[in-house]
Chains A and B, each alone.
Chain A
């Protein structure tokens, strides 16, 4: 890699709130020199047609992520607790509103 490659703007991840009442959702990434530029670029790149009412940008290197999916024991604790789901419990059909 040359110096110009190293001097490239850092990578940011972009999250957009589509409309009030919804969560921010990851939509992609972009390069920018700083946070403010990242927000402006995100607006120009990801919301040209009213796709959002709010944007978050965060440097990609600041994101901590779970490991890869294959044979990953990370999510195993949630797989063996069927009693966390409402369908685990047998309730007679004639009990209303439950």
Chain B
């Protein structure tokens, strides 16, 4: 072992690889960085990197981490209401995974010099965003299945290319996450298959959930390419590997045959196979809705933020108690050591 990822984010001598004073070799460093990217090699925490690259990554990774953490809420609501012990255990494991994903990502952000408590604070104060999709309500148990199928499916489309992202710790976190997302998507689809084999009322629940989640799921890929100003730079830095529209297309192409197999209708009259393109044509999401939800005016924004804030505040005494206990133990073992030495 030679070096540690997040060791660079501590205040020790190995301190953050922050911006160096502008000097004659700034240009050399930039060339070295560009060459590393061009060779398709990974940038690691202690490497020199342009400020913009660092800022972009911290923003993207933090936003991603926040999404995983807030993403625990819509499904978490159904843990106590799951219809069987099997479904409850599965849902529990899935929601726990989402927490895990958030923590992998916070860990990656910290290798860039971000501070965990500060990131949490930024989320709670609404200064950093999370994915728009988690601001929609989960009205029935079918929503749990559709979230696994659509939302985790869309996440897989987004995240598989991120496993080759140019920033090492981010790419490695994504590898770990992608392995687990597959379980998430499959449990959702299986849940829906089970409901589709049930009663008419259950089939209606599934179709209703599909109708409500389809368009918000397409919006998860972000605004269309011509309205996504930061994308080009992110692609040049190989943080991102595909454009929003490419990934959205991939998701539609992947989902259509799954919907047919399941026996549900995707709520888009313009959806049809285009043999010439070799892709499905589809309608345009309501981008003004995405804007509204992102800017805080979605159906559940206030509720999600309030829940996160409350959890943080109500957990404060636990964090403090653990710190106090650790300090006491450290003092006692120090005393014991001194006693033994005397």
Q: Verify that A and B bind, or say they do not.
A: yes
Residue B107 interfacial (CB < 8 Å): yes
Contact of B323 among A11, A33, A60 (CB under 8 A): A33
- Whether A87 is near chain B, meaning CB under 8 Å from some CB there, is no
Q: How large is the interface on A (under 10, 10 to 19, 20 to 34, 35 or more residues)?
A: 20 to 34
Query: What residues of chain B lie closer than 8 Å to A67, measured between beta carbons?
Result: 46
Q: Which residues of B contact A (CB under 8 A)?
A: 1-14, 17, 28-29, 32-33, 44, 46-48, 93, 96-97, 100, 103-104, 107-108, 110-111, 115-118, 121, 169, 172-173, 176, 180, 316, 319-320, 322-323, 325-326, 329-330
Q: Which residue of A lies closest to B325 (CB)?
A: A33
Q: Given A13-B4, A34-B329, A65-B7, answer yes or no on A70-B121 (Cβ-Cβ < 8 Å).
A: no
CB distance from B316 to the nearest CB of A (A): 8
Q: Across the interface, which residues of A come within 8 angstroms of B121, CB to CB?
A: 5
- CB distance A28 to B118 under 8 Å? no
Q: Which chain B positions have C-beta within 8 A of A26? A: 1, 4-5
A18 to chain B, nearest CB (A): 13
Query: CB distance B322 to A37 under 8 Å?
Result: yes
Centre residue among A31, A45, A63 by max chain B CB count within 10 A: A63
Contacts of B28 in A (CB 8 A): 70-71
Closest to A6 in B: B117
Q: Are A68 and B46 in contact (CB under 8 A)?
A: yes
Give bound CA distance, A70 to B46, whole Å: 10
Contact check, A1 vs B48: say whether CB atoms are below 8 A apart. no
Q: Is A21 an interface residue when CB atoms closer than 8 A count as contact?
A: no
- CB distance A60 to B117 under 8 Å? no
A-B CB contact pairs (8 Å), 29 listed = A4-B316, A5-B115, A5-B121, A8-B116, A9-B323, A11-B6, A11-B9, A13-B5, A15-B1, A26-B1, A28-B108, A28-B173, A29-B110, A30-B107, A33-B322, A34-B329, A37-B326, A44-B100, A45-B100, A45-B104, A60-B4, A60-B7, A63-B7, A63-B12, A65-B2, A65-B3, A69-B47, A70-B28, A71-B28
Give B103's nearest chain A residue, CB to CB.
A45
The answer to whether A65 and B329 touch across the interface, beta carbons within 8 angstroms, is no
CA distance A95 to B3 in the complex (A): 42
Say yes or no: B6 contacts A68, CB within 8 Å.
no
- CB closest residue in chain A, given B35: A70
Q: Give Cα A85 to B285, complex, Å.
A: 60
With both chains docked as a complex, state the minimum distance between the C-beta of A67 and any C-beta of chain B, in angstroms.
8
List, in ascending order, chain A residues with CB within 8 A of B29's CB.
Answer: 70
Given known contacts A28-B104, A68-B46, is B11 in contact with A61 (CB within 8 Å)? yes
Question: CB distance A63 to B32 under 8 Å?
Answer: no
Closest 10 pairs between A and B when the two form their complex, measured CB to CB: A33-B322, A34-B326, A33-B326, A65-B3, A29-B6, A63-B7, A5-B117, A61-B12, A8-B117, A63-B4
CB-contact partner of B48 in A4, A27, A60, A70, under 8 A: A70
The answer to whether A78 has its CB under 8 Å from any CB of chain B is no
In addition to A13-B4, A26-B1, 15 A-B residue pairs with Cβ atoms within 8 Å of each other are A1-B117, A1-B118, A9-B323, A15-B1, A28-B173, A33-B326, A37-B322, A48-B97, A60-B10, A60-B12, A65-B7, A65-B8, A68-B48, A69-B46, A71-B28
Selected contact of B100 from candidates A48, A68, A71, CB within 8 Å:
A48
Q: How far is the CA of A37 from the CA of B322 in the complex (A)?
A: 9
A28–B6 alpha-carbon span in the complex (Å): 8
Residues of A within 8 A of B8 (CB): 65
Q: How far is the CA of A33 from the CA of B11 in the complex (A)?
A: 17
Shortest CB–CB separation between residue A71 and chain B, in angstroms?
7
Interface centre among B7, B8, B180 (most CB of A within 10 A): B7
A26 CA to B2 CA, complexed, in Å: 11
- Residues B6 and A60 in contact, CB atoms below 8 Å apart: yes
